[in-house]
Amino acid sequence: MTRPFLKMNGLGNDFVVVDARQTPFSPSATQVKAWGDRASGIGFDQLIAIEGSASGNAFMRVWNSDGGTVETCGNALRCVSWYLDRETPGADLHIDTLGGATTAKVLERDAATGMASVDMGEPRLDWTQIPLSEEMNTERLELQVGPIDAPLYHTPCAVSMGNPHVVFFVEDVAAVDVERTGSLIENHPLFPEGVNVEFAQVIDRNTIRMRVWERGAGITKACGTGACATLVACARRGLSDRHATVIMDGGPLHILWRQADDHVIMTGPVEVEFEGQLNG
């Protein structure tokens, strides 16, 4: 089987995007892992399929590079909206995901880059929606890393943006061992479906520096849902306003948690890298 794909990224969080609207695409976990391997395959953080949808313009399916399917991906939603916008330039695009329905709009575009805004819907804040394995206040989780009497990181905030996130507040994000702590927390029993782990340093009320360990993908340069979860977490704790620039290793996203309807709006860039064919 060979399938054409487009390699794209949002702030360096990179994807292989397959248009599966005409021909079904159902790779095995082994195939996804092989294609995702940066040493021997194409290399990506997520594999994305654009499928048909009865209720919207398209359905976006997401696999992490470890081969597991997950609910959604914020940076990929901007890339998929750029792809679909070629067919109906400037229109609002309704893109469904396993994590919920979204609406996207491409604000600027040229042949290989663009800027898009996605309404990600409401964050889910109840412990059952994250989900957690036991009832807890998601604004202040009873969770800590390090010695019991002098924890390195503690009392994070949990937010679901359709997929699960836990946000730790730190004084110096550059000093965090993201791999060590992220991999430990990703599989903590408090998170029965695993969790994406963010470390956030509040610079001022409208600027947050964040680094991420993604469930099923490890350290990535940026995470769209992670940036949304980080802004929501900071605003819930009174550390930021409801709009901020979240600066990740790959660059900034602008996030607004709109007062009127509680929806989170993410705005940022899209880039096309190259076209290719998947074999396998």
Stretch that binds ligand LBFN2T5F, among 116-124, 140-148, 217-225, 256-264 (CB under 6 A): 217-225
Strand pairing category for 144-145 and 113-119: unpaired
Please tell me whether residue 57 binds ligand LBFN2T5F under the rule CB under 6 A: no
Please tell me whether residue 240 binds ligand LBFN2T5F under the rule CB under 6 A: no
Q: Is 225 annotated as a binding residue?
A: yes
User: In the complex with ligand LBFN2T5F, which residue's Cβ is closer, 58 or 73?
Assistant: 73
Strand pairing category for 58-64 and 46-51: antiparallel
Has 223 been annotated as catalytic?
yes
From start to end of 53-112, where are the E strands?
Answer: 58-64, 69-70, 93-97, 100-109
Please tell me whether residue 217 binds ligand LBFN2T5F under the rule CB under 6 A: yes
User: In the complex with ligand LBFN2T5F, which residue's Cβ is closer, 50 or 70?
Assistant: 70
In single-letter form, the type of residue at position 108 comes to E
Please tell me whether residue 13 binds ligand LBFN2T5F under the rule CB under 6 A: yes
We find the least distance from the C-beta atom of residue 269 to ligand LBFN2T5F, in angstroms, to be 12
Neighbours of 190 (CB within 10 A): 18
User: In the complex with ligand LBFN2T5F, which residue's Cβ is closer, 31 or 46?
Assistant: 46
For residues 146 and 7, give the distance between their C-alpha atoms in angstroms, rounded to a whole number: 39
Please tell me whether residue 81 binds ligand LBFN2T5F under the rule CB under 6 A: no
Neighbours of 118 (CB within 10 A): 25
Please tell me whether residue 225 binds ligand LBFN2T5F under the rule CB under 6 A: yes
CB 173 within 8 A of CB 211: yes
User: In the complex with ligand LBFN2T5F, which residue's Cβ is closer, 5 or 216?
Assistant: 216
Q: What is the DSSP string of 211-257?
A: EEEETTTEE-S--HHHHHHHHHHHHHTTSS-SEEEEEETTEEEEEEE
* Coil vs helix vs strand at 174: helix
The set of residues, in sequence order, having a beta carbon less than 8 Å from that of 280 and lying 6+ positions away, is 1, 27, 31, 34, 35
Has 73 been annotated as catalytic?
yes
Interacting residue with ligand LBFN2T5F among 57, 102, 138, 196 (CB under 6 A): 196
CB 133 within 8 A of CB 142: no
Q: Which H or E element spans position 208? A: strand 207-214
Please tell me whether residue 65 binds ligand LBFN2T5F under the rule CB under 6 A: no
Please tell me whether residue 75 binds ligand LBFN2T5F under the rule CB under 6 A: yes
Q: Which residues are catalytic?
A: 73, 223
Residues marked as binding?
Answer: 13, 46, 64, 74-75, 163, 196, 214-215, 224-225
Binding interface with ligand LBFN2T5F (CB under 6 A): 13, 45-46, 62, 64, 70, 73-75, 163, 196, 214-217, 220, 223-226
